[in-house]
Amino acid sequence: MTSTTDNDRYIGRERDLEQLTSAVDHVVDGHGGVVIVGGEPGIGKSRILEEIESYAADSGALVIHGTCYEGDSTSPSNSLPHKEREQV
């Protein structure tokens, strides 16, 4: 898997990336799936998702991105625009 930029290599999370790329490949092959990424602030959740979003888009997957904030008590799907929620 290549990094989102040539100058910005992603190092140290190979196992996590392998699991996520496997999940993307599974979906691209026509199967469903859900992956939940969680953890403490600052451990690289956003960064690893940038990598996997790039990989998914390059693999031909439709990538829908939403954002939730700590303390937000709404459903995670509410972070997506209405049109994209219909696809979820």
pLDDT in tens, 5-33: 444 566 778 899 999 999 999 999 999 88
In a domain, 1, yes or no: no
Q: How many independent structural domains does the chain possess?
A: 1
In a domain, 44, yes or no: yes
State the pLDDT at residue 27.
92
As a whole number of Å, the CA-based R_g of the chain is 14
pLDDT in tens, 27-52: 999 998 888 888 888 888 889 999 99
Whole-model pTM above 0.85?
no
In a domain, 78, yes or no: no
Tokens (6 digits) for 9: 């290599």
In a domain, 4, yes or no: no
Question: Measured between alpha carbons, how far is 7 from 64 in angstroms, rounded to an integer?
Answer: 25
Give the range of the structural domain holding residue 25, as residue numbers without chain letter: 14-62
State the pLDDT at residue 73.
61
In a domain, 86, yes or no: no
In a domain, 75, yes or no: no
Confidence of residue 1 (pLDDT cuts 50, 70, 90): very low
Tokens (6 digits) for 59: 């693999």
In a domain, 40, yes or no: yes
